Amino acid sequence: MKKKQQHPGGGADPWPHGAPLGGAPPALGSWKRRVPLLPFLRFSLRDYGFCMATLLVFCLGSLLYQLSGGPPRFLLDLRQYLGNSTYLDDHGPPPSKVLPFPSQVVYNRVGKCGSRTVVLLLRILSEKHGFNLVTSDIHNKTRLTKNEQMELIKNISTAEQPYLFTRHVHFLNFSRFGGDQPVYINIIRDPVNRFLSNYFFRRFGDWRGEQNHMIRTPSMRQEERYLDINECILENYPECSNPRLFYIIPYFCGQHPRCREPGEWALERAKLNVNENFLLVGILEELEDVLLLLERFLPHYFKGVLSIYKDPEHRKLGNMTVTVKKTVPSPEAVQILYQRMRYEYEFYHYVKEQFHLLKRKFGLKSRVSKPPLRPHFFIPTPLETDEPIDDEEQDDEKWLEDIYKR
């Protein structure tokens, strides 16, 4: 029978199957003794002490950064990324995301200047490029009180970026109320043509439906609906005289009461705002060039807009917004309109010159070889400055949604 090995200190050998690798077993009580924690895991007391020291340092560090103001910035960002619901409660709103392109755009569209066509394009582009198209259910209130301005600016500024807000509204100064001034864009057209389009649109609508004008102006009397345009102008009806004809400039002048008074003050203020706050003011008569420049300036919003606009299906839908039953006034009536709208024309030609200058910088040629002659105002009488009647055209956009769902 094989005799059991005896340990020098007495008793059975703790390693009956042989000494561990690395040499003979140490004596009992030695600090180098290996303690078998688990059958498959063994480490020395030195390793155990190192682990305990590391744990102590971690606990002390955790205590220190909590006492000194909370978790580090990296952990806060990680919590936000992982969607921790208590982030906003504990640390307030996160800083706004800085995008590498204009992320706040406002199109305070002028009525009867191609805005329906542009809005239809924007609906398509917003789904294609993923920006937030913000519209308004209010279509006939362009002049706002101070509180209404503050409320609207607050609602616009809190929209998810990048956004493009569009509504018929006179220029809003965001910085006056402590907001970030957005990038403005707009389109205007020849003032007399705009007036005629609006005059007949209110009475007879467009090709979208034979009865839409009845829905738009249900209270209009028959004699007013069929009022001859020449009689309206020559007899100086309110709809065909100032201040109702002073329409385009207030969209660029702003919300100041003097912006609604035809005169040099409103004209110069409108020009100043065009230079300082508008990225682009285009001319409807050159809409394709307007869209091309918008694609150059704001590609994240308007990339591919020209190809969409030229698509036959879109052209078919766009033609439905053409006003019907338009007639041309007599030369005498047109000349009177020119005189009554001389500030509007001064602004229109100023914007047109700026637009053509911008086109030349980008190598685009104007289709008109020489600019048309400006109207000669032969009646230098002062313009009326009564408060305008609040009768803006309504802009029912439901038809756009119906068309887009087809």
| Three-state SS annotation for 348-383 | HHHHHHHHHHHHHHCCCCCCCCCCCCCCCCCCCCCC
Q: What pLDDT sits at residue 80?
A: 53
Tell whether 35 is covered by a domain.
Answer: no
Is residue 124 domain-resident? yes
Helix (H), strand (E) at residue 398:
helix 398-405
Give the pTM. Answer: 0.67
Handedness of CA 186, 371, 201, 253 (dihedral sign): positive
Domain enclosing residue 251, as ranges: 104-363
Spatial distance between the Cα atoms of 195 and 112, rounded to a whole number of angstroms? 8
Residue 71 maps to a domain: no
Query: Would you state the pLDDT for residue 43?
Result: 64
Give the per-residue pLDDT at 70: 54
405 belongs to a structural domain: no
Let me know if residue 62 belongs to a domain: no
Say which CATH number the domain at 331 has: 3.40.50.300
pLDDT along the chain (406 residues), means of 10: 51 53 49 50 73 81 62 50 45 53 94 94 96 91 96 95 97 94 97 94 67 61 90 96 96 97 98 97 97 96 95 71 75 96 98 96 70 44 37 41 40
Catalytic residues: 168
CA distances 158 to 34, 134, 167, 246, Å, are 65, 11, 16, 33
Q: Is residue 298 a part of any domain in this protein?
A: yes
Q: Let me know if residue 72 belongs to a domain.
A: no
Identify the pLDDT of residue 100: 57
Structure tokens at 7: 């340990």
* pLDDT given for residue 44 in this prediction: 74
DSSP per residue, 256-285: SGGGGS-SHHHHHHHHHHHHHHEEEEEEGG
- Total domains in the chain come to 1
- Using an 8 Å Cβ cutoff, are 374 and 339 in contact? no
Residue 14's pLDDT is 52
**Residue 250 maps to a domain:** yes
